[in-house]
Structure 1
């Protein structure tokens, strides 16, 4: 998964300017520019990989983790009811962080990278075998026109 400089700064608990300086020095492994303007940084085990300098003090990166990736679940029973009864307004998508449901709706727009996961042998805690994981902010839409923003939040370990 790839993230931008703002998310990397949040993970490392440093400023975005410091992240750009580390990229300029070539110390963030795998960082590259896309579209001639935007930096993308790969994650290794949930963190950017930063190489150390030969001299000077050891870096003091604060290890942070995402507080339960935003996961988007598909509600199969509601899909079946909507198909059977035609024109019911049951929500078929839900955005969750950990066990907390953040938003429900019919359409979602993810503003960044995401990953679709299929694990029949190791289902999600709620029993789902297919879901979408993302570290990015998402927007959930309902039939009644309500819009709910699902933000990406980071916490320290």
Structure 2
């Protein structure tokens, strides 16, 4: 019978602007830690293999599927979850364009769009389309999501 590492290791990282130290198992995913240890349930478990994007968060400003990242890999990193967004133009655009139905995928799309803004603040149509391919909406709200993301970029160019 295989033995499993059940020891808990201290881990420190910054989540939503706050320094956090918790004890985790070496095999715990960041998604599990965020949801079960820290109570940040905006990131969802959809597929647990990186296909759907419902667990997308930002790690040092870049989108990361938290179901694919071990918690120990987040040591010392700056993590932003949907709960950490304040006055988000992306969230506002999603509301204005009604870019959601059931809402399950919405946090992942919003976090991915924030990552896109960080990496490509002047993203063109093709770049937006490619970035949106990393997330799945089972309700088929793709047209509304695309309109919301385009509105964010159109609005950011006007400022």
TM-score range, shorter-chain basis? under 0.3
Q: TM-score, normalised by structure 2?
A: 0.21
Instruction: Give 1 or 2 for the bigger CA radius of gyration.
Output: 1
